[in-house]
Amino acid sequence: MEQTKFLLDESELPKRWYNIRADMPSPPQPTLHPGTGEPVGPDDLAPLFPMELIMQEVSEEPEIAIPDEVLDIYSLWRPTPLYRAHRLEGAIGTRSRIFYKYEGVSPAGSHKPNTAVAQAYYNVKEGRTRLSTETGAGQWGSALAFACKLFGLECKVYMVKISYDQKPFRRSLIQAWGATIVASPSEETECGRAILEEHPDSPGSLGIAISEAVEDAALREDTAYSLGSVLNHVLLHQTVIGQEAIAQMELAGAFPDVVIGCVGGGSNFAGLAFPFLREKIGGRDIDVLACEPAACPTLTRGLFAYDFGDTSKLTPLVPMHTLGHDFIPEPIHAGGLRYHGVAPMISQLMIDGLIRAEAYLQTDVFASAVLFAGSEGIIPAPEASHAIHGAIETARAADEAGEERTILFNLSGHGHFDMAAYDNYFAGKLEDVALDEDEMERALHAIEGLPTPA
């Protein structure tokens, strides 16, 4: 029998996060204060984040030590397994080898606890007792609820309304870990009330929910804001994924030609890809592919521009690919990928040609998810299924070209809380929505007049 799982022992957990900033050919451009147009400094961020996270945000050190208290909690589920997808390969009849790193074994069922635990730790250390955050599909909200529970922090989650309605049991999960949750836009914040007044039926968006959570944190001394993606320190914390994967691919006697992840804000993609990009920047030939939904095609069709991270313009201006800060994506089932922007570091890597992106329709993505579930067994999350689809398309293209490739993708989470989406898919009720040209143009008006990146 050929080996299926490549495991590392707890003692082999990475002891340091990898900071790709130190190795990037061009560093990401600074975030700007929207009032002054000047780069944002640590003091500007201090009301929202603990100082250690702010320092990580701007650090140029290549490696940052992971605190023992964080490693101790990581060890509840990390190192995560890396699989050779023998059965999926058989199902599609490819000559390529497909591997996947599985982050769904965490208590919250995704990669999100990798940063949630770190963020909760630094907040407790600096005396915060409460965190506020937003969540799309609920993977981030449940991860932060879990981390807060373990560190004894209060936690308030603003959940995008469409997901709040579509995924009731993700809500229950957040509550089971003791957090408070509300559908966003909500009546509990100024921003929420303003949006509800204009659009009482708003399905919500990550941009809106971020506004609410930031407002909540800004108004309370005891509360810090916590973000599950986009920011440099969040991507940093995820790099345990790729570091483990490199060691596990070595156990498998292989190295990937192609590294694939799905991208919403970009954290699971970065987590797997950054340690491999370190090798690529060092001269190794690797194709790094970001997969996004055609309904929210930030990297493939968005503009690289300065834009707000949220809808109500409470955040600094971020240099990133964007569809405009008031863009509200169609309510597709991969709720975690419905974000108008993307992490600035990922945008910069895209501009520098170190990564590329493709956008997929959701019925194609679900077809690949069902093929995967029926061969490898695991029911994947709709978000992670974009990476599965990317891997299958890559293998098929290689077969057509008569090539054999070694493909590695990040299976960032399981789909146990997304079964309603599968029901809709099987019932033929999933709509394929690619972003409309006119709609995109309309959305991009939002960034007119904002500064332009160099």
Query: Helix (H, G, I), strand (E, B), or coil: what is residue 232?
Result: helix
Q: How many residues bind a second copy (CB under 8 A)?
A: 47
H-run or E-run covering 192: helix 190-198
Q: How far is the CB of 422 from a second copy (least distance, A)?
A: 5
Question: To 10 degrees, the CA torsion angle through 415, 417, 423, 428?
Answer: -60
Single residue of 55, 194, 367, 420 touching a second copy by CB under 8 A: 420
Distance from C-alpha of 161 to C-alpha of 158, rounded to nearest angstrom: 9
Distance from C-alpha of 211 to C-alpha of 193, rounded to nearest angstrom: 11
Single residue of 26, 42, 172, 363 touching a second copy by CB under 8 A: 172
Q: Which of 296, 411 has the CB closer to a second copy? A: 411
Q: What's the gap between Cα 354 and its chain centre?
A: 19
Q: How many CB atoms lie within 10 A of CB 454?
A: 6
126 binds a second copy (CB under 8 A): no
Q: Are 241 and 268 in contact (CB under 8 A)?
A: yes
Of 451, 226, 208, the C-alpha closest to 340 is 208
Q: How far is the CB of 166 from a second copy (least distance, A)?
A: 12
426 binds a second copy (CB under 8 A): yes
Single residue of 46, 65, 219, 419 touching a second copy by CB under 8 A: 419
Single residue of 92, 169, 364, 371 touching a second copy by CB under 8 A: 169
Applying CB under 8 A, the span of 45-53, 69-77, 270-278, 434-442 interacting with a second copy comes to: 69-77
What burial letters (b/e) apply to 88-110, b meaning 16+ CB within 10 Å?
Answer: bbeebebebbbbbbbbbbbbbbb
220 binds a second copy (CB under 8 A): no
Scan residues 131-150 and list those touching a second copy (CB under 8 A): 146, 149-150
For the residues of 398-447, what is the DSSP string, one character each?
HHHTT---EEEEEE-BB-TT-HHHHHHHHTT-----PPPHHHHHHHHGGG
76 binds a second copy (CB under 8 A): yes
Residue 122 half-sphere exposure toward CB, CA atoms < 13 A: 22
The token pair at 317 is 């201006």
Q: How far is the CB of 57 from a second copy (least distance, A)?
A: 27
Q: Which of 9, 43 has the CB closer to a second copy? A: 9
Site string for a second copy, 339-378 (x = CB under 8 A): -------------------------------x--xxxxxx
Q: Which residues bind a second copy (CB under 8 A)?
A: 1, 3-5, 7, 9-10, 68, 71-72, 75-77, 83, 87, 105-109, 146, 149-150, 168-169, 172-173, 175-178, 370, 373-379, 414, 416-417, 419-420, 422-423, 426
